[in-house]
Amino acid sequence: MWPGVLPGLPPVHSYPSSCAGPPVPGEPAAATRLRARMTEAVIAGGWAPSPRVQTALREVPRHRFLPEAPLEEAYDDYHYVVTARDSTGAAVSSVSAAWTQADMIEQLQLEPGMVVLEVGSGGYNAELLAHVLGERGRVVTVDVDPRVVDRTKRLCAEAGSGRVTAVLGDGSLGAPAYVPAGGFDGVIITHNAADVAPAWRGQLADGARLVVPLEIGGYARSIALVCRGDVLHAEHWTYCGFVRDRGAAARTAPAVHLADGAVTMRWEDGLPTDADTSELEEALRGPRHEIATGVVLPGEYSFETLQIYAATVLPGFCRLAAPEGSDLVARQDVAAITAEGSLAYFTPIKIHHAPKPADSRHEFYIHAYGPAGPALAERFAACVRDWDEHVREEGYPPMTVHPAGTPDEHLPPGDVLDKPFSRLVFPWPGRTSRQLRQLPSSSRERDLTPGRSRPHRRARRPPGRTFAPQLLLRYAA
């Protein structure tokens, strides 16, 4: 007989859980334990500093919003769970990763009793929001997919607070029938957005925050933007990736397929007006020009700001995609520039191997093709060196988002990225007025010198994971 086991007692199937956070009546003990583990991992990663978000993670039963998933999967702290796919098998809806949800909710800076709009539904994230907002708070969640809306309504009715309203609609229009007097106290977008829809700003209360996974050069960052009048001010950035927009504002990036389809070039923010891709095929058949930039990064160092920097300061910016092991392009997805029938892209090359990835070293190289390849390579290398000197330690800039049509002279100094509905201004440190892209006329006399005071925005990483410099694109949703 095992010590301590009394003969004749019925077998014990579950044990009281000593985990923090009350169990939801009737739920399996494993759900309580796994939810506590997920919550602790998210907190340990620094994604949920506020007690209100921590309590929401502890108490909202995530598994009830993922009834099809095994408990372990539902409570994985790092991965999203796909809940709908299109006819090609691509994910079109999911319950996002818990760390992303916690981070985005934190960035909204909510208070009890507020009313929040969520674009992209699922149920769990809306219920986290409702928990944070308390009994007087309300959440309106909009999804373009009727299946998702039905599912959200059903799951929220079964396991929710009664304070979430799920609505069918295109989120780029917001939720016009539900805007409270004075506007929503927060708007959170949970799909990748190519642009900032005017309705999100228009339905937001002044001083409130929009948190949106915005694509810049095709790279998504969850950006917390504070609304001040017509202008949104970036306060916080987190590396992320969500499912793409499926509404009226969705767009397909112009792309060309080269080398019998082995290389694809995509201009995620639209084809430059002077783009001529006809000679690129020929360029790729020629020799490859390679230069070292001299910029060396330790293993696991995130260069996510370099992607955004290059996408906003380099004319002709695009992305190159190639299959693994391609002879033409060193990586599957690289940042590139094109001009004059030539192209150049940057790639980190391991120059020092070490048993621990963090101790290895990578140097950025530029590879180029075509007659103007050497000049493009030098231009790209200069960009990488400028980033290294001025941006790498500073982090993201205090970007501002202005309505499309804002005249140049009303924009602050910075590199301007124009989108259909908005003008994004990036006051990167170290840029001189001569270098600025689409320089606003009002700023011609002013240089953006390094050392201007600005909040420090370090790149942050999800909990418990290491990242090699190639920044494998990972999807939070």
Ligand X SMILES: C[S@@+](CC[C@H](N)C(=O)[O-])C[C@H]1O[C@@H](n2cnc3c(N)ncnc32)[C@H](O)[C@@H]1O
Hey, which residues are catalytic here?
A: 96
**How far is the C-alpha of 53 from the C-alpha of 47, rounded, in Å?**
9
**How far is the C-alpha of 225 from the C-alpha of 425, rounded, in Å?**
13
Vertex 17 angle, CA 13 and 21, to 5°: 140
Does 125 bind ligand X (CB under 6 A)? Our answer is yes
* Straight-line distance from the first to the last Cα atom of the chain, in angstroms, rounded to the nearest whole number: 50
Cβ closest to ligand X, residue 133 vs residue 448: 133
Site string for ligand X, 149-178 (x = CB under 6 A): ---------------------xxx------
Binds ligand X (CB under 6 A): choice among 184, 242, 267, 396:
242
State the nearest-atom distance from the C-beta of 328 to ligand X, in Å.
Answer: 34
b/e per residue 415-435 (b: at least 16 CB within 10 A) = bbbebebbbbbbbbbbbeeeb
Burial label for 401, CB within 10 Å (0-12, 13-18, 19+), is buried
Number of residues this chain uses to bind ligand X (CB under 6 A): 30
Cβ closest to ligand X, residue 81 vs residue 339: 81
SS3 assignment, position 166: strand
Taking contact as CB under 6 A, which single stretch among the options 143-151, 177-185, 329-337, 357-365 is the one that binds ligand X? 143-151
HEC sequence for 89-142: CCEEEEECCHHHHHHHHHHHCCCCCCEEEEECCCCHHHHHHHHHHCCCCEEEEE
Does 143 bind ligand X (CB under 6 A)? Our answer is yes
> Which residues in the 64-123 window bind ligand X by CB under 6 A?
92-96, 101, 118-123
State the nearest-atom distance from the C-beta of 140 to ligand X, in Å.
Answer: 12
Cβ closest to ligand X, residue 83 vs residue 305: 83
State the nearest-atom distance from the C-beta of 298 to ligand X, in Å.
Answer: 33
DSSP run (H or E) holding 348: strand 342-352
Strand 289-298 vs strand 164-168: parallel, antiparallel, or unpaired?
unpaired
Does 424 bind ligand X (CB under 6 A)? Our answer is no
Cβ closest to ligand X, residue 118 vs residue 268: 118
Cβ atoms 235, 456 nearer than 8 A: no
Does 142 bind ligand X (CB under 6 A)? Our answer is yes
Taking contact as CB under 6 A, which single stretch among the options 244-252, 350-358, 376-384, 451-459 is the one that binds ligand X? 244-252
Does 124 bind ligand X (CB under 6 A)? Our answer is yes
Binds ligand X (CB under 6 A): choice among 32, 39, 54, 190:
190
Q: How far is CA 261 from the centre of its chain?
A: 28
Strand 263-266 vs strand 255-258: parallel, antiparallel, or unpaired?
antiparallel
Does 148 bind ligand X (CB under 6 A)? Our answer is yes
Cβ closest to ligand X, residue 251 vs residue 288: 251
Cβ atoms 315, 325 nearer than 8 A: no
Cβ closest to ligand X, residue 140 vs residue 330: 140
State the nearest-atom distance from the C-beta of 100 to ligand X, in Å.
Answer: 8
Contacting residues toward ligand X, per CB under 6 A: 92-96, 101, 118-125, 142-145, 148, 170-172, 190-191, 242-243, 245-247, 477
